[in-house]
A = this chain, B = another copy of it.
Amino acid sequence: MQIRRMTAQDFDAFWPTFQQIVQAQESYAFDPHLDKDDAYRLWCDLPLETWVAEQDGVLLGSYYLKANAAGPGSHVCNCGYMVSESARGKGVARALGEHSQQRARQAGFLAMQFNSVVACNEVAVTLWQKLGFDIIGRVPRAYRHREQGLVDILVMYKWLDTPVAKQAAPALLIGRKNIEAIVSRDRKRRS
Contact = CB atoms under 8 A, between A and B. Distances in A.
Give the dominant DSSP class at A's interface: strand
B116 A29 contact: no
Contacts of A25: 71-72
A105 interface: no
A23 to B, nearest CB: 9
B137 A22 contact: no
29 contacts: A29-B69, A29-B70, A29-B72, A29-B73, A30-B70, A31-B71, A68-B142, A69-B116, A69-B142, A72-B143, A72-B144, A72-B145, A72-B146, A73-B116, A73-B144, A73-B153, A75-B144, A76-B142, A110-B141, A113-B139, A113-B142, A115-B115, A136-B138, A136-B140, A137-B137, A137-B138, A139-B157, A142-B157, A155-B155
